Amino acid sequence: MVPMSVDERLPEPANPLGLDGLEFVEYATSQPQAFGTLLEQMGFAALARHRSREVLLYRQGTMNVIVNSHEAGSASPVISAMALRVRDAAFAHRHCLELGAWDMPTRASAMELHIPGIHGAGDSLIYFVDRYTDFSIYDVDFVPLASAPRQPPALAGLHWFGVVQTILNERTADWLDFYRTLFGFTALPEGKSFGILPKGTLLESPCRRFYLQLVEPPPGADEVHWEEGLLRVGLGAPDVPQATAALQKRGIVFIDRGALHPTDKGALSQVYLGGVTFELVVSRP
């Protein structure tokens, strides 16, 4: 008899929606060109344009970024949505509404895919996507740009690591309830952290493919403007110094001041366009 490994004996965390990673992260900005240039410096390539709205698709490796300038209110790019890969988007949507999530208004025009979604933190949305294997949502709603690569490779093995969410004081338990109840996220034990910004509470997706980091305002931050929303993305890199060097060569500046500086564990970019930062975290896809 072959003894079971430790991993096999551990129960899989419940994954009610068949979550399978992040399909895309959407930014809203009224400065799509400036932000597009920044994304290209980060290693993304522009791939396609939405059929009916001022929306562009960027990609590198397995990461898709949507830049939405349709009725965008803010010049500074803000993360307006994250799309979760799920087994069945309609089921995921229904399941979340039954548990008390708020539905989002449909935005699809004629002949476009309706991507179901719910309201998340602040003004952000959470979409559900189940077409990511044999054909993709982008095949329907987007027109490829001339001479754009189909599959731009990832720079230095970059991949989605997670999303950082700011929350108000004493709201960690609430948001933990939200992500646990709707999707099956679990909180990592206190003290377990990744990267160079070990703040707040880390939640692991039930597919174990990405993390959410909930960050309450730091103590004594009464003067700081702090609201709930999706703050920044974390990009996983197998070799952070190599990724940092590659990005620095492309003009990305990393914060190197006092306690905050690039290490083997991670790095944080400077603030771009009035509010955008990228965090690198050591991780293998």
Select the residue interacting with other proteins from 53, 95, 171, 265 (CB under 8 A): 171
Alpha helices in the chain (DSSP H): 6-9, 32-41, 89-98, 137-141, 172-183, 240-249
How far is it, in rounded angstroms, from Cα 122 to Cα 119? 8
Q: Binding of other proteins at residue 181 (CB under 8 A)?
A: yes
Q: Binding of other proteins at residue 139 (CB under 8 A)?
A: no
Select the residue interacting with other proteins from 121, 203, 235, 243 (CB under 8 A): 121
Q: Are 285 and 62 in contact, with CB atoms under 8 Å apart? A: yes
Q: Binding of other proteins at residue 99 (CB under 8 A)?
A: yes
Smaller CB separation from other proteins, 229 or 238: 229
Strands (E) located in 123-167:
125-129, 142-144, 159-166
What is the footprint of other proteins within residues 219-248 (CB under 8 A)? Answer: 228
The DSSP output letter for 182 is H
Binding mask 51-90 for other proteins (x = CB under 8 A): ----------------------------------------
Interface segment toward other proteins; rule CB under 8 A; list 6-14, 69-77, 93-101, 127-135: 93-101
Per the listing, tokens 């799309």 go with: 83
The DSSP output letter for 272 is B
Residues in binding contact with other proteins, number by CB under 8 A: 19
Interface segment toward other proteins; rule CB under 8 A; list 132-140, 142-150, 178-186, 190-198: 178-186
Q: What tokens appear for 203 in the block?
A: 């939640």
Q: CB of residue 101 vs other proteins: minimum separation in angstroms?
A: 7
Q: Binding of other proteins at residue 98 (CB under 8 A)?
A: yes
How far is it, in rounded angstroms, from Cα 97 to Cα 26? 22
Smaller CB separation from other proteins, 78 or 176: 176
Q: CB of residue 170 vs other proteins: minimum separation in angstroms?
A: 9
Strands (E) located in 167-221:
186-187, 201-204, 211-215
The DSSP output letter for 218 is P
Per the listing, tokens 């208004």 go with: 105
Select the residue interacting with other proteins from 90, 108, 140, 173 (CB under 8 A): 173
Q: Are 102 and 118 in contact, with CB atoms under 8 Å apart? A: yes
Smaller CB separation from other proteins, 81 or 176: 176
Select the residue interacting with other proteins from 12, 88, 139, 177 (CB under 8 A): 177
| CA dihedral for 89, 26, 277, 281, sign (positive or negative) | positive
Q: What tokens appear for 107 in the block?
A: 């935005």
Contacts with other proteins by CB under 8 A lie at 98-102, 119-121, 168, 171, 173-178, 181-182, 228
